[in-house]
Amino acid sequence: MDKIKIFAPATVANVSCGFDATAFALENLGDEMAFTKNTSKNVTISKIEGAKLPFKTNKNAASFVADVMLKESNADFGVAIEINKKYKPGSGLGSSAASSAGAAFAINELLGSPYSKTELTKFAMLGEEVACGSQIADNVSAAIFGGFVLVRCYDPLDIIAIPTPVDLCVTILHPQIELLTEEARTVLPEKVPLKTAVAQWANVGGLISGLHTSDYDLIARSVQDYIVEPLRKKMIPHFDAVKEAALSNGALAVGISGSGPSIFILSKGELQANYIEKIVNKTYQNKDIKFITYVSKIGSEGVRKI
Ligand code: HSE
């Protein structure tokens, strides 16, 4: 294989209660990338559309991941990468993770698939460090595995694929402001009171159980964040108004997508998710902030060839 084109999904990390430990992939929103082999043994970026991102190999998450993988496997070829971003970086929808996971998946294919999904996640985490300063696994593992994931342990890395109830859908509201993960991590608390931690990890257990048993009410009760959301929501204009409007119109749960500013809203069924899209559109219009909304099923497949 000399060339591969892939789709790398957008992802929602944290899912409120599972900070840095849970995430899911979207079905229909994500980036497209093309990787073409050449004889140079170098990794270059030949084109970036849809966003202003660095072209330098060691500054761009995708090319950095590709370069590490080719060196690690003593490959006798180089690649040229084309990136077509379909949504903005700094959105809270795992933009750098899509690039990193997309590169890890594509290079693995060009190498003849020597690496497991967990190994690919480890490579992609290096891209997260380039883009946002930390080797966070949530978004990249969801992009690689698809569906819902649990990062049960970082060392050694242990990613658990969690089943998704068939009717679970998500509405996303993306205010067109940029919030970098690095910046959003500066507000995180150093310590958490034990009582708060107990409430939070009990919710993670509830979410995982609810996903396994398709118990939508349990999912709704469990997707709550007592630790990070109260601090980060101040950086997201009208977060409380959106949450209130969605919950009072039948949404299951509302939270900050990753490090924000996007807001995710879970619903049972596509009809309800589309209805919630209308509701939050009404809430956000006339607020002087441009925004985009999306409705998606949970993406069961993750990064894939197109
Ligand atoms: N869990 C991360 C955060 C999201 O909320 O900072 C980016 O992976």
Residue 39 Cα, ligand 1 centroid: separation in angstroms? 37
Q: Hey, what are 181's tokens?
A: 């993960």
Ligand 1 binding pocket includes 13 (Cβ within 6 Å): yes
Ligand 1 binding pocket includes 14 (Cβ within 6 Å): yes
Give the model's pLDDT for residue 189.
96
Non-local (6+) Cβ contacts of 141 within 8 A are 23, 121, 149, 151, 159
Instruction: Tell the residue nearest (CA) to atom 6 of ligand 1.
Output: 259
Residue among 32, 128, 229, 277 flagged as catalytic: 128
Ligand 1 binding pocket includes 283 (Cβ within 6 Å): no
> What burial letters (b/e) apply to 255-292, b meaning 16+ CB within 10 Å?
bbbbbbbbbbbbbbeeebbebbbebbeebbeeeeeebe
Would you give the distance in Å from CA 61 to the centre of its chain?
14
Domain ranges of the chain: 3-162, 168-297
Report the alpha-carbon distance of residue 57 to residue 43 in Å, rounded.
7
Ligand 1 binding pocket includes 31 (Cβ within 6 Å): no
Residue 278 Cα, ligand 1 centroid: separation in angstroms? 27
pLDDT in tens, the chain (306 residues): 899 999 999 999 999 999 999 999 999 999 999 999 999 999 999 999 999 999 999 999 999 999 999 999 999 999 999 999 999 898 999 999 999 999 999 999 999 999 999 999 999 999 999 998 899 999 999 999 999 999 999 999 999 999 999 999 999 999 999 898 889 999 999 999 999 999 999 999 999 999 999 999 999 999 999 999 999 999 999 999 999 999 999 999 999 999 999 999 999 999 999 999 999 999 999 888 999 999 999 999 999 999
CA 134 to ligand 1: nearest atom: 8
One fold for both 3-162 and 168-297?
no
Ligand 1 binding pocket includes 136 (Cβ within 6 Å): yes
Of 12, 259, 262, 263, the residue with max ligand 1 atoms within 8 A of its CB, to mutate for a pocket test, comes to 259
Give the model's pLDDT for residue 108.
98
- Look up 57 and say whether it is catalytic: no
Instruction: Tell the residue nearest (CA) to atom 4 of ligand 1.
Output: 258
Give the model's pLDDT for residue 132.
87
- Look up 171 and say whether it is catalytic: no
CA 128 to ligand 1: nearest atom: 8
Query: What's the CATH fold of domain 168-297?
Result: Alpha-Beta Plaits (3.30.70)
Ligand 1 binding pocket includes 138 (Cβ within 6 Å): yes
Give the model's pLDDT for residue 248.
98
CA 228 to ligand 1: nearest atom: 5
Give the CATH number of domain 3-162; options: 3.65.10.10, 3.30.230.10, 3.40.50.720, 3.40.190.10: 3.30.230.10
